[in-house]
């Protein structure tokens, strides 16, 4: 059955993206807004004795339809064969190999950072996001066949989320909409986040459901790209992920790496940290908690765990 749903996703994903991709705004977000209004209206009717039973039935009917579509179009993909089984796996990521890779990606980031543009404050900015997204689609077709044999439809269905002002306070960088096959990203983020976020969400469009596998496929898409904006964002994400993993066992090594950031990278890091600090609050905690539950309910490690991505990365680099 899992193979069947994987085959079905491959069969329908191009048409799914074509059907909604041409719309200039996020149709999926509009659908969520209308669904939210319907749920609130139904709950209000549930409080009225005369219309209670009819409202409950209607609400359950609509929610079940949405859940059914979600499972058919997306949910079963969480049970696909993990990518790690396609690589020469080790039991758990090795800290010394992670350190060596962190040093390598530090140098890569320093080099690539010199070829990108800055704003008047010396912060990295994307000069042409459409070119980044086009490059992501082209790189999808260049993925190693032993990792991905999925078809790359080459359809631009990237959409800036309508909820970006709320997303700034939730810690959510982007999301894939399984009902419309749109790759949503928060356009209000620091630009260091945006290219890799688009690559990550495009990996979901290809059919990689697990979050850390989408990170890994996003890494494969961006790390050899000829587009400097995409490559820098990918290398910087990879370096930060390695440092988060290493910090659990050797925080002093991480501090030494941070001190070796180039002045430009340090400016980018300060801006990221300032952005995150300005938008911390109860919404961030709430969405972190609910996202963690969602991931664990779909056979994943949880929102704050990077070990699977690091495991994939180290095995691939090996």
Stretch 1-14: mean pLDDT, rounded?
A: 90
What integer pLDDT is reported at residue 262 of this predicted model? 96
Residue 28 CA to residue 208 CA, distance in Å, equals: 19
Instruction: Write down the pLDDT at residue 93.
Output: 65
- Residue 265 CA to residue 108 CA, distance in Å, equals 12
pLDDT for position 283: 47
Give the DSSP letter of residue 23.
Answer: S
DSSP letter, residue 81: P
Spatial contact of 81 and 89, defined as CB atoms under 8 Å apart = no
Q: What is the Cα–Cα distance from 68 to 62, expressed in whole angstroms?
A: 10
Predicted structure pTM score: 0.89
The C-alpha atoms of residue 108 and residue 174 are separated, in whole angstroms, by: 25
Query: What digits encode the pLDDT tens for the residues 173-191?
Result: 999 999 999 999 999 999 9
pLDDT at 181: 95
Look up residue 165 and give its two tokens: 């002002």
On average, the pLDDT of the chain sits at 89
Quick one: average pLDDT of 166-176?
A: 88
The predicted pLDDT at position 250 comes to 93
Lowest pLDDT segment from 38-47, 61-70, 91-100, 230-239: 91-100
Is 70 exceeded by the pLDDT of residue 117? yes
Q: Quick one: CA torsion of 207, 208, 210, 211, rounded to 10 degrees?
A: -110
Q: Are 6 and 207 in contact (CB under 8 A)?
A: yes
Residues 6+ away with beta carbon under 8 Å from 212: 300, 301, 305, 306, 308, 309, 312
């Amino acid at each position: 059955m899992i193979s069947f749903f994987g085959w079905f996703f491959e069969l329908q994903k191009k048409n799914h993206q074509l059907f909604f991709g041409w719309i200039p705004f996020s149709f999926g977000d509009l659908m969520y807004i209308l669904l939210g209004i319907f749920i609130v209206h139904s709950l209000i009717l549930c409080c009225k004795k005369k219309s209670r039973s009819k409202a409950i039935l209607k609400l359950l009917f609509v929610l079940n339809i949405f859940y059914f579509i979600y499972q058919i179009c997306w949910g079963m993909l969480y049970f696909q064969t993990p990518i790690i089984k396609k690589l020469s796996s080790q039991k758990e990521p090795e800290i010394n190999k992670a350190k060596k890779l962190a040093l390598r990606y530090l140098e890569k980031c320093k080099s690539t950072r010199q070829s990108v543009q800055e704003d008047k404050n010396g912060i990295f900015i994307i000069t042409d996001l459409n070119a980044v997204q086009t490059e992501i689609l082209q790189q999808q077709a260049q993925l190693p066949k032993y990792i991905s044999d999925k078809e790359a439809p080459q359809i631009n269905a990237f959409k800036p989320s309508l909820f970006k002002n709320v997303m700034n306070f939730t810690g959510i960088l982007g999301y894939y909409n399984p009902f419309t096959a749109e790759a949503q990203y928060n356009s209000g983020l620091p630009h260091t986040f945006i290219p890799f976020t688009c690559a990550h969400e495009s990996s979901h469009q290809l059919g990689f459901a697990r979050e850390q596998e989408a990170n890994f496929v996003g890494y494969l898409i961006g790390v050899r790209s000829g587009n400097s904006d995409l490559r820098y964002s990918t290398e910087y994400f990879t370096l930060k992920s390695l440092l988060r993993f290493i910090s659990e066992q050797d925080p002093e090594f991480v501090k030494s790496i941070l001190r070796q950031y180039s002045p430009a990278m340090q400016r980018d890091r300060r801006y990221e940290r300032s952005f995150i600090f300005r938008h911390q609050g109860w919404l961030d905690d709430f969405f972190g908690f609910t996202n963690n539950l969602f991931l664990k309910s779909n056979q994943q490690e949880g929102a704050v765990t990077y070990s699977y991505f690091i495991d994939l990365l180290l095995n691939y680099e090996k």
